[in-house]
Amino acid sequence: MNPQRFPLGYLALLALLLIAPALVYPVLIMKVLCFAVFACAFNLLLGYTGLLSFGHAAFLGGAAYLTAHALKVWALPTLAGLALGTLGAAALGWVMGSLAIRRQGIYFAMSTLALAQLVFFLLLKSEFTGGEDGLQGVPRGSVLGFDLSSDTHLYYLVLAVAAGAFWLIHRTIHSPFGQILKAIRENEARAVSLGYDVDRYKLLAFVLSAAVSGLAGALKTLVFSFATLSDAHWHTSGEVVLMTLLGGVGTVFGPVAGAAVIVTLQNELADKVGSLVTVIMGFIFAACVLAFRRGLVGEAIALFRRMIGEKVQ
Amino acid sequence: MNEIFGVPLPALLGQLTLGLVNGSFYAMLSLGLAVIFGMLHIINFSHGACYMMGAMFTWMALEYLGLGYWWALLLVPLGVAVVGIVLERLLLRRLYRFDYLYALLLTFGLALMIEGGFRQVFGVAGQPYAIPEALGGAFDLGFMMLPRYRAWVIAVSLTVCLFTWFVIEKTRLGAYLRAATENPRLTQAFGINVPLMVMLTYGFGVGLAGLAGVLAAPTAQVGPLMGSNLIIVVFAVVVIGGMGSILGSVLTGLGLGVVEGLTKVFYPEASAVVVFVIMAVVLWFRPAGLFGKEA
């Protein structure tokens, strides 16, 4: 897609999001935004580094708990709580990443899943997380004198933070660092032979992805005023894969679109079909993999290219 | 000597055999994963769902058809294998040309669908399944009571695993399989029907998971959720052992089951995570896995 056209697209989306609370229930959009940030962070690994992590729920859930604890028990200011959650997820990402990048391919996916399950059990057993009940009644606090217990105030904070996170990921992808990540994705052996310390780049990408996922989890705690175990469950790790896949792996907007579709779908279906939701998610998974590997945004880009007569790779 | 480190000997031995039973399930499941991986180069995420189906079919056979344990032992693994073969032929086969990750994601989606479907129909609550009469009671070994059913599970699983090893390493069929693993195109050029072997390998792998499910039915509550937590532990087992060697998978599975059992005695809080912790340690010190070649 023509790079000059991008700023216009961004501005249009931002304008739409600025007026959105007048049109749609703000909590739903905030949830979409949280998962959009989460999926973009995940896509940095899968789409741009070629690493399939099946353990990203650990960062979302871990940060959600840390922020909830910081705000509720330590009574930290809201922004400090967000920062703490993000840093905690980065630290966790550093530990998990250093272990998991020692294996490639399928083993990487399996070890991240198992390590995330370890985190899940630790959260389940720890006292500060409140076990099965989770941490409830987390105060939203205030920022710059704005009382965040108002959904509208909180919405603009979430939007600002999400836009910042999105910008950070966009910058990363288009930086020299991002180019090296793509080189690793395309051909790891060649990147090694060119003299890049591949493991360090992978670890850095992993930590960055974990930190931004943590930020998403911290925001989610603010939105819902609670942190629960389901954030850290492997189902959530699967969901973020699905969002990215559905939207389009390795596209900038794909994860956002995927998150919007999945969150809305779950919201609509949750009361109506019960546990059939899992079946529907599984079905979308299978359909994407079999027929839709480029995802919604990927297919749209391919269509656009065909229309302006460019050759599709 | 009736105590070891302050733990009464019967309790210790009891957990040890229970650990061996769990280890047998790990061994059979990781063996199935390894066999499938060797041939298809994919990780079957729906393996846990196949195990769950094995147990659910066993329960359903009794509930709806009046077919008892022995019939289930014979028919259910075949049934699960047939389900697997149908999925392989209809869906999985389309993805071999693409990156390994698509097949992983497809089987993940299938696992969600199978688990969600059973949950929708049967709810999350587990159903009890009685131990068959001939295997009830316990052997008195003098120093401990060994429940017959535990001995049975361990014996069946060891037999099946050794049989698999024998077929793959020592027979002509196994030689074809190994050749097809090494170089599918050349093997096909020699007139061996490789797609058929791929199909049968997948069927055999998930059939093993189904058999593990049948064996597990009387030891645990039979319910739709029994597969998904187990499969994550089995993945950790596979990362620890590596999928390069059949005996390696079996030994790792059994060994980790025992370690888990002993952890239950000495430090119960850690028993749910001990396998994952071992995996982290192995990743740090021996990234290729205990029996693995560098992947």
pLDDT digits (tens, 9 = 90+) for B126-159: 888 888 888 888 887 777 778 889 999 999 999 9
Cβ contacts of B110 on chain A, cutoff 8 Å: 282, 286
Q: Do B106 and A289 touch (CB under 8 A)?
A: yes
In terms of residue numbers, what domain contains A117?
23-232
Residue pair A35/A231 in contact by the 8 Å Cβ criterion:
no
Residue B292 has pLDDT above 80, yes or no: no
State the Cα–Cα distance between residues A98 and A119, nearest whole angstrom: 15
pLDDT of B2: 66
CA angle A120–A124–A129, rounded 5-degree value: 110
Q: Which of A26-40, A132-146, B226-240, B269-283 is predicted with the least confidence, judged by mean pLDDT?
A: A132-146
pLDDT of A200: 93
Q: Is residue A44 part of a domain?
A: yes
**Nearest CB to A290; choose among B91, B112, B279:** B91
State the Cα–Cα distance between residues A209 and A41, nearest whole angstrom: 5
In terms of residue numbers, what domain contains B168?
3-123+135-285
User: What is the total count of domains within chain B?
Assistant: 1
Tell me which residues of chain B have a C-beta less than 8 Å from any C-beta of chain A.
37, 42-43, 91, 94-95, 98, 100-102, 104-106, 108-117, 119-120, 228, 232-233, 235-236, 238-239, 269, 272-273, 275-277, 279-280, 283-284, 287, 289, 295
A103 touches chain B (CB under 8 A): yes
User: What is the total count of domains within chain A?
Assistant: 1
Identify from A117, A243, A262, A277 which residue to disrupt to test chain B contact, counting B C-beta atoms within 10 A and taking the largest count: A117
Give pLDDT < 70 ranges for chain A. Answer: 1-6, 310-313
**Nearest CB to A274; choose among B101, B112, B120:** B120
DSSP annotation string for B230-270: HHHHHHHHHHHH-SS-HHHHHHHHHHHHHHHHHHHHH-GGG
Residue A61 identity (one-letter amino acid): G
pLDDT in tens, B30-69: 999 999 988 888 889 999 999 999 999 999 999 899 888 9
Q: Strands B3-4 and B7-8, how do they pair? A: antiparallel
Residue of B nearest to A46 (CA): B101
Cβ contacts of A241 on chain B, cutoff 8 Å: 105, 108
Using N-to-C axis directions, what is the helix angle for B226-241 and A105-125, rounded to 10°? 120
**Nearest CB to A125; choose among B108, B269, B284:** B269
Q: Do B106 and A238 touch (CB under 8 A)?
A: no
CA-based radius of gyration for chain B: 19
A179 versus B11: which is more confidently predicted? A179
Q: Is residue A264 part of a domain?
A: no
Cβ contacts of A114 on chain B, cutoff 8 Å: 232-233, 235-236, 239, 275-276, 279
State the Cα–Cα distance between residues B171 and B148, nearest whole angstrom: 33
Q: Do B116 and A125 touch (CB under 8 A)?
A: no
Q: Do A290 and B94 touch (CB under 8 A)?
A: yes
Residues of A (59-98) whose Cβ lies below 8 Å from B: none
Q: Is residue A206 part of a domain?
A: yes
pLDDT of A5: 53
Residue pair A240/A247 in contact by the 8 Å Cβ criterion:
no
CATH code of residue B26 = 1.10.3470
Residues of A (214-243) whose Cβ lies below 8 Å from B: 234, 238, 241
Residue B117 has pLDDT above 60, yes or no: yes
Cβ contacts of B101 on chain A, cutoff 8 Å: 52, 109
Residue pair B44/B205 in contact by the 8 Å Cβ criterion:
yes
Cβ contacts of B108 on chain A, cutoff 8 Å: 238, 241, 282, 285
**Nearest CB to A117; choose among B111, B114, B276:** B276
Q: Is residue A281 part of a domain?
A: no
Cβ contacts of B287 on chain A, cutoff 8 Å: 102-103
Q: Is residue B261 part of a domain?
A: yes
State the Cα–Cα distance between residues B23 and B44, nearest whole angstrom: 20
Copy the structure tokens of residue B264.
């239950």
Q: Residue B1 — very low, low, confident or very high, per pLDDT cuts 50/70/90?
A: low
| Average pLDDT rounded to a whole number, residues B194-209 | 92
Q: Is residue A303 part of a domain?
A: no
- What pTM was estimated for this model as a whole? 0.90
Q: Is residue B293 part of a domain?
A: no
Copy the structure tokens of residue A186.
């395309």
Q: Is residue A275 part of a domain?
A: no
